Structure 1
Amino acid sequence: MCGRYSLSKSKAELEERFQAEMLVDFKPRFNIAPTQLVPVITSDSPRGFSFFYWGVTPDFGHNKPVAQKLINAKAESVHEKISTKGAFQRRRCIIPADGYFEWKKLGKKTRIPYRFTLREEELFSFAGIWEEYETVSGDTQHTFLILTTTPNEVAGEVHDSMPVILSREQEKKWLDKYSSETDLLASLKPYPTELMLSYSVSSLVNSVQNDSPGIIRKISPMDQFGNYTLFG
Structure 2
Amino acid sequence: MCVRFLLKTGIEELVRNYRVESVDEGANAYRAGDFYPAQSVPVVLEQKSRVITLARWGFNYSSKKKVVVNARAETILDRPMFKDAARYARCIVPANLFYEWKAEGIGKKVRYRIGLQDASIMSLGGLYKLSFDKDLGPQLAFVIITTDAEEGVREVHPRMPLIIKEEWVDMWLNKDTPVELVEEILSAKTGAKFTVERCEDAINNKIKEGMYGEQMKMF
Same-fold call, TM cutoff 0.5: yes
Aligned mates of 1:208, 1:12 — CA distance in 2: 33
Aligned mates of 1:196, 1:108 — CA distance in 2: 27
Q: How does 1:9-28 map to 2 (within 5 A)?
A: 9-20=9-20, 21-22=22-23, 23=25, 24-28=28-32
Q: Note the C-alpha offset of 1:112.
A: 1.4
Show the counterpart of 1:143.
141
Show the counterpart of 1:224.
none
Show the counterpart of 2:212.
none
Q: What RMSD in Å do the two structures reach over aligned CA positions?
A: 2.5
Aligned mates of 2:125, 2:39 — CA distance in 1: 18
Q: Does structure 1 retain, via aligned residues, the 8 Å contact 2:44–2:52?
A: yes
Q: What number of residue pairs does the alignment pair up?
A: 201
Instruction: Kindly provide the amino acid, as one letter, of the partner of residue 2 in structure 1.
Output: C
Q: Does structure 2 retain, via aligned residues, the 8 Å contact 1:125–1:165?
A: yes
| Structure-2 change in CA distance of 1:46 and 1:95 (3 Å) | farther
Which segments of 5 or more consecutive residues in structure 1 lack a partner in the other structure?
A: 210-232
SS at 2:167 equivalent: helix
Q: Note the C-alpha offset of 1:110.
A: 2.2
Show the counterpart of 2:55.
52
Q: Note the C-alpha offset of 1:95.
A: 0.7
Q: Does structure 2 retain, via aligned residues, the 8 Å contact 1:55–1:71?
A: yes
Q: Does structure 1 retain, via aligned residues, the 8 Å contact 2:165–2:190?
A: no
Q: Note the C-alpha offset of 1:10.
A: 1.6
Show the counterpart of 1:126.
124
Show the counterpart of 2:215.
none
The structure 2 residue matched to 1:41, chosen from 41, 44, 51, is 44
Show the counterpart of 1:2.
2
Deviations 1:96-147 (A, max 9, x none): 1111000111121222111110103411211111121333358211110101
Show the counterpart of 1:185.
183
Q: Does structure 2 retain, via aligned residues, the 8 Å contact 1:53–1:144?
A: yes
Q: Percent identity?
A: 26
Which segments of 5 or more consecutive residues in structure 2 lack a partner in the other structure?
A: 209-219
Deviations 1:5-48 (A, max 9, x none): 0112122221221122334223322x210000010112325521
SS at 1:120 equivalent: coil
Instruction: Kindly provide the amino acid, as one letter, of the partner of residue 49 in structure 1.
Output: I
Aligned mates of 1:16, 1:194 — CA distance in 2: 22
With normalisation by structure 2, the TM-score equals 0.82
State the structure with more CA Rg: 1
Show the counterpart of 2:96.
98
The structure 2 residue matched to 1:173, chosen from 160, 171, 175, is 171
